[in-house]
Amino acid sequence: MGAHASRGKGLGFANAGYAVAVIDNPEASPAAWAPRIVDAAPERFDAVPATAVVRDGAHVIAIAVRQEGMHAGALVRYPVAALARCDVAAGEWWAGDARGWVAVGSLGGPGPAWVLDDAGSECSVHWDERTRSFVHVASYGFGASTIGLRTAPSLTGPWSAPVAVFRPAESDGQRPFVYAARAHPELRGPHAADLVVTYASNSFEFADLLTMQGERSLYWPRFVAVPIGR
């Protein structure tokens, strides 16, 4: 996603669309990367990919988040081969059980179906073998936040209500700014039932990040293992 300044509104920036970046040699050192970046055409509805993505067979499915009001989540899928060419024009949006996946030009006025009432401005989604379900992780709340987890048998839902699994200690600070919870199923926790989750702690005052204490304690990812499955 891209952003532009929005003085006096929100956190001082607003969404300005999105682009697709492809790295052909991801296993190489980042210094050797030469990303191909293609701007995507803006949609006529308020849903911007992609806060989280998951591979599902021949497609990559992305959560697209509403920017105004509650961050509800819709789904858009892209053929893997098309995405590797930076081609998002072939994307199909989930329009509900009755219509299924449809091209953007066929969605009509209502736009896509909302499968998550609050997907979070940043989140993750993955298939978890232990629970035999898709798992969505996000931060709930603004400033002070709690990490919540939802499950669903399918990406299209129905999704459970969020269950609070961890409240960061930073959320109980004097001026909390805690956000960006997401799961990392590729990592292992101390126990077989653990799901490793990260979140970010920040400050509403930019100058705080430039202090000695801020450099040590702010804007670093925090890791926590939360129980899931058995």
Among 54, 88, 119, residue at a domain's last position: 119
**Contact call for residues 137 and 197 (beta carbons, < 8 A):** yes
* 157 and 68 within one domain: no
Its pTM surpasses 0.85: yes
Q: Domain boundary residue among 104, 119, 134? A: 119
96 and 156 inside one domain = no
Final residue before a domain boundary, out of 74, 90, 119: 119
Beta-strand runs (E) in the chain: 3-5, 13-15, 19-22, 36-39, 48-56, 59-65, 73-79, 92-94, 101-103, 123-128, 133-140, 146-152, 163-166, 178-183, 194-201, 221-227
Average pLDDT over every residue of 44-71: 90
pLDDT at 199 over 90: yes
Q: How many domains does the chain have?
A: 2
* Residue of 58, 70, 180 lying closest to 114 (CA atoms): 70
Q: Which of 205, 213, 209, 215 is nearest to 175 (CA)?
A: 205
Q: Are residues 152 and 217 in the same domain?
A: yes
Does pLDDT of 52 surpass 70? yes
Same domain, 115 and 138: no
Locate all alpha helices (DSSP H) within 4-75, ordered by sequence.
none
Examine the domain organization and report whether 180 and 89 are in the same domain.
Answer: no
Residue showing tokens 């978890």: 128
The whole domain housing 167 covers 122-230
Asked whether residue 95 falls in the same domain as residue 34, the answer is yes
State the pLDDT at residue 206: 84
54 CB contacts (<8 Å, ≥6 apart)? Answer: 60, 61, 125, 126, 127, 134, 155
Look at residue 92 in the predicted model and tell me its pLDDT: 95
